[in-house]
Homo-oligomer: A and B are copies of this chain.
Amino acid sequence: MGHGGGGALSAELVEHLFAPAFGGRALSALADSAALELGGARLAFSTDSFVVRPLFFPGGSIGDLAVNGTVNDLAMSGARPAYLSCGFILEEGVEIALVARIAEALGAAARTAGVEVATGDTKVVEAGRGDGVYLNTAGIGLIPDGVDIRPQRARPGDVVLVSGAIGAHGVAVLSKREGLRFEVGIESDCAALGGLVESMLAVTRDVHVLRDPTRGGVAAALNEIASAASVGVELHERALPVPDAVANACSMLGLDPLYVANEGKLLAFVPRAEADAVLAAMRAQPLGAEAAVIGECVEEHPGMVVARTGLGGRRVVDLPLGEQLPRIC
């Protein structure tokens, strides 16, 4: 299960198995989406499969995830998401009404995100060879001129921003799956970030890195960036916005919010000179209202993420091996 978790085991699979087999240059860039040139246009291209369990959870569904997950991967290269493909793998016997509800959620999420579902496919497998509904989406977006956003561009001196509170998606899915009820209901943050990214790029095209901390959470995302750019990341742990409800749920469940998946948040590495203006632009957007500075990029300890803890100590934030919560998206 760990190989699908978006952590060290997933990275190994890509590095040692898929990248050599496919032989492409794009895969090895380790970005959320590939940047391509086609017919004179600069395109971002990305795919994700979705196997979340349960199919509906507080704040969203597999249909919302399938749109927002891929739209956000495109937005993390600065692209304006435009078109999605959508593949359904249905398990024999799944209720058509359930498939219809998922399709409606997917369609509504696409309209909200401003993308068009342009092409699709449906396959059916025997009962016991699937789990109701699996989805895949791939997406295409247009990268504006002058934008070059990728993990390798993190530079010492960059300020690290997060667009809002973390940990809600993973906790919402897990609580629904396990039938837990918290006093304060926790809803997934699942949302499309294309508009937020546009508002940031309106301030400066010189955003260095964007990343949505999904599987493996903020910890995995920061580790991947530190490793790709051979820079260190200092994380100000106290500055991380973690809602009390999420913190309490995590401590009950034995989870660390730093490793919990988010589906409507982004991390940004921006030059120090632009950080205040970018932060202000983010806070002016509903999806960035709680944006905060959470750290900085440093020359020390390249490839490593080090957290300054609340008590003035320091600890290494590792890349997770697998995923604390399987089938979270």
Contact = CB atoms under 8 A, between A and B. Distances in A.
Interface of A: 1-5, 10, 13-14, 17-18, 21-27, 33-34, 36, 38-43, 45-51, 82-83, 85-90, 92, 96, 99-100, 103-104, 106-107, 110-111, 116-126, 128-131, 134, 136, 138, 140, 142, 326-327
A2 to B, nearest CB: 8
A39 B42 contact: yes
Contacts of A85: 45-47, 138
A49 B118 contact: no
Nearest to A2: B124
Contacts of A107: 21-23
B83 A34 contact: yes
A287 B4 CA distance: 38
B140 A87 contact: no
Contacts of A131: 125, 129-130
Q: Which of A5, A46, A117, A118 has the most CB of B within 10 A?
A: A118
B140 A47 contact: no
A49 B136 contact: yes
A103 B22 contact: yes
Q: How many copies does the complex hold?
A: 2
Given A43-B39, A131-B129, A87 B48 contact: yes
A119 B36 CA distance: 10
B10 A122 contact: yes
Given A17-B99, A39-B40, A125-B327, A118 B34 contact: yes
A42 B82 CA distance: 14
Contacts of A120: 14, 18, 22, 27, 47
Nearest to A117: B22
Contacts of A326: 124, 126
Contact of A40 (B5, B27, B40): B40
B116 A26 contact: yes
A329 to B, nearest CB: 8
30 contacts: A4-B90, A5-B124, A13-B122, A17-B99, A22-B107, A24-B116, A24-B117, A25-B116, A26-B117, A27-B119, A36-B83, A36-B118, A36-B140, A39-B41, A39-B43, A40-B40, A45-B83, A45-B140, A47-B136, A48-B121, A49-B87, A49-B121, A49-B136, A89-B89, A89-B134, A119-B138, A125-B131, A126-B327, A129-B131, A130-B130
